[in-house]
Amino acid sequence: MNIVMFSFILLGFTLLMHLVFVNVIIGAAALTVAMRYVAYRRGDAGLELLARKAFRILVVSDLFGGVWATILTVLMAGLYPSMTAIFMHDYFYPVAIAITGIMVSIPLIAVYWHLWGRMNPRLHSLLGLLLLASILLVPIGFRYFFAGMTYADPSSALANPVYPPLIIHTLIGAVDIGAFVTAAVLASRSNLDVRGVRISLGTGLAMLPAQAAAGGYYYAVLVKYSPYVAGNVGGPLLGYADGNPMVYPAFYSGVALAAVLGAVAAYAFYASLRGEVRRWAVIMSGVLSEAVMLLMEYANDMARYPYIFVQGSGGATASSLLDSLMPIPLSAIYIMLASSIFFVGVFSAAFYYAILRRFIPETE
């Protein structure tokens, strides 16, 4: 593998790790806020408890989402300085909006948790809306980068036609993943919450058609404005014989896994309607939802290769934008990867103890 491809994949890997967490954060936040409000309106204590559980998943995901964001930022600026500079110049205000979202959301998470049950539920629900809005500001700002790379038209940086379908696709997908992961976490506990599993799975299933429609809309816009990306993603089955063989199989696999996800989740949901939890099916739904996201995001980003900014059938190549100011020692890259993997293991262990309560007795 050459250094251009290696750097591209390294950055992509970091992005995917980041997205594993942030989709859960966004989805869990949307679920929490919605369920908390409905629970208040209906006086439904069970639903409120489920909202609290979804919120816990948000809390523990947030820290590591932030850590991977830092790694991503450093690698982005270090490996592709001009790309990052272009982002900062063309998307100065979207970046500022996203940063504001990060800044505001973290304290709001603490405030929202602390005031739960200590203030008027209507006001608390309103606070939840602010929390959700602050969390949504982050993808709303940063997704401009991706639209700008897919359809590089500096004259319309903030009016990029690829942006609307991309952000819709992103947000619906995140809610979907948040719902399935919440269901999976609930199913992994010893005291099963059948209603919680049912609501989470039901939400995830209900969002799947919307997500498919958003995906279709996004693809249609790609065909119009970024045929190079659309061709690499669509491959021979969608009429692009010269599609990139490193990309379209991932897209096909993603579509196939999404179908499997729908079937497995429907089976698990049906069981939950009968008061049963098919633990393997629910957990698999959570895992599959993340897997589909990883494959689709990979296909979306890898489809630009060898370009970073795609313009028509060409663009600015990764090799021209790759840092050539200093040779980066391979040994240093290995150290970074080894350390990241080790500490992901440590975090997973701590997460496991904290969430699955090897050390904390279940009290609810």
Q: Which of residues 46-75 bind other proteins (CB under 8 A)?
A: 49, 52, 56, 59-60, 63-64, 66-67, 69-71, 73-75
Does residue 263 belong to the site contacting other proteins (CB under 8 A)? no
Residue with smaller CB distance to other proteins, 275 or 329: 329
Q: How far is the CB of 279 from other proteins (least distance, A)?
A: 17
Contact with other proteins (CB under 8 A) among 92, 256, 313, 314:
92
Would you state the structure tokens that stand for residue 12, as one six-digit string? 């992509």
Of 253 and 340, the one with the shorter C-beta distance to other proteins is 340
Give the bridge partners for 317, in sequence order: 307
Q: Which residues inside 338-357 make contact with other proteins, applying CB under 8 A? A: 339-340, 343-344, 346-347, 349-351, 353-355, 357
Total residues at the site for other proteins (CB under 8 A)?
A: 76
Left, alpha or beta for 224 (phi > 0: left; psi -120 to 50: alpha)?
alpha
For other proteins, give the closer residue by CB, 266 or 323.
323
Give the 3-state DSSP-derived string for 113-167, with helices as H, strands as E and coil as C. HHHCCCCCHHHHHHHHHHHHHHHHHHHHHHHHHHHHHHCCCHHHHHHCCCHHHHH
Which residues, 6+ apart, have CB-to-CB distance to 326 below 8 Å?
A: none
Q: Which is nearer to other proteins, 274 or 329 (CB)?
A: 329
Q: Which is nearer to other proteins, 175 or 308 (CB)?
A: 308
- Rounded to whole angstroms, the Cα distance separating 7 from 318 reads 9
Find the part of the chain contacting other proteins (CB under 8 A) among 106-114, 171-179, 260-268, 289-297. 106-114
- Rounded to whole angstroms, the Cα distance separating 123 from 8 reads 46
Kindly tell me which residue out of 41, 42, 103, 123 binds other proteins, with binding defined by CB under 8 A: 103
- As measured in angstroms, the least distance from the Cβ of 205 to other proteins is 26
- The secondary structure of 292-346, three-state, reads HHHHHHHHHHHCCCCEEEEECCEEEEHHHHCCCCCCCCHHHHHHHHHHHHHHHHH
Lay out the site mask for other proteins across 4-43 (x = CB under 8 A, - = otherwise).
----------------------------------------
User: For residues 108-127, which are near other proteins according to CB under 8 A?
Assistant: 110-111, 113-114, 117
Q: What number of other Cβ atoms are within 10 A of residue 154's Cβ? A: 11
Q: Cβ distance 177 to 24 under 8 Å?
A: yes
How many residues can be counted in the chain? 364
